[in-house]
């Protein structure tokens, strides 16, 4: 079965209509998983047959909002495979945030922080510094139990219980990071969208997000250099190794 994960920060209105349309189309294609909708965008984890997943994504790309725009056109999904669908049912929910940080002033759709791609990060970590000679540190923005399963070698871990703890942890540690290049990372990139903005606003001028998160790093780098362990995913597979397999 094909598993896809994707998100996009984009202003959405009339959320009940979006919820009804998204759910109806996913049900018609026998997909299972979770889709979160909020005024700030969409976050999804879905699984089904390859043909049906691709059909649903194609349908989503073609949807127009009331203003005549295509909010999901070009949305890219990260893919992995499993023998069975790792979700028990389909859930489409309206939330206050697609990833909760409790920082309403942080609006990724208004402008995202700079990102670094997987191959560049791998090269920086191998050489021990960025292309301008600054020390590079990776910052894990995930929760404690996720970090325990696996993380980058030497990554900063602030022992977060939930993502909304990140701004306070940053306030306590920002001074230690001012002369470094800091690359925040998370599972699929969504938490880093907000984390990197907050870091920039805190005066960390060399703060970046890892484009596509850990899953993209696994996909784009051969053998996931500098990574140790597994990556937690939020379905019945539990976690994935660096080849994007659950066993």
158: helix, strand or coil: coil
Report the alpha-carbon distance of residue 127 to residue 136 in Å, rounded: 10
State yes or no: is 231 an active-site residue: no
Exactly one of 77, 106, 186, 244 is catalytic; name it.
186
Strand partners, 239: 232
What is the rounded CA–CA span in Å between residue 19 and residue 14? 9
Whether the Cβ atoms of residue 65 and residue 13 lie closer than 8 Å to each other: yes
CA distances from 224 to 52, 119, 220 (A): 30, 10, 8
> 84-123 b/e with 16+ CB inside 10 Å = b?
ebbbeebebeeeebbbebeeeebebeeeebebbbbebbbb
**So which residues are the catalytic ones?**
186
């Amino acid at each position: 079965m094909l598993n896809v994960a994707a998100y996009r920060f984009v202003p959405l209105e009339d959320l009940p209509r979006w919820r009804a349309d998204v759910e109806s189309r996913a049900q018609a294609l026998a997909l299972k998983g979770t889709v979160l909708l909020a005024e700030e965008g969409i976050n999804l984890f879905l699984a089904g047959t390859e043909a049906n997943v691709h059909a649903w994504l194609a349908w989503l790309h073609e949807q127009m909002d009331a203003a005549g725009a295509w909010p999901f056109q070009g949305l890219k999904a990260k893919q992995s495979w499993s023998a069975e669908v790792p979700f028990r049912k389909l859930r489409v929910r309206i939330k206050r945030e697609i990833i909760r940080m409790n920082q309403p002033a942080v609006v990724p759709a208004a402008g995202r922080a700079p990102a670094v791609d997987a191959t560049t990060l791998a090269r920086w970590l191998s050489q021990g510094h960025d292309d301008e000679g600054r020390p590079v540190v990776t910052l894990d923005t995930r929760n404690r139990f996720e970090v325990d399963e696996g993380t980058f070698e030497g990554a900063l871990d602030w022992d977060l219980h939930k993502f909304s703890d990140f701004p306070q942890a940053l306030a306590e540690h920002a001074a230690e990071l001012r002369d470094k290049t800091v690359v925040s990372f998370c599972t699929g990139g969504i938490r880093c969208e907000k984390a990197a903005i907050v870091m920039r606003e805190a005066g960390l001028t060399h703060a970046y997000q890892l484009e596509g998160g850990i899953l993209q790093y696994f996909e784009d780098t051969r053998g996931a250099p500098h990574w140790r362990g597994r990556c937690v995913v939020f379905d019945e597979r539990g976690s994935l190794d660096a080849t994007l397999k659950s066993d």
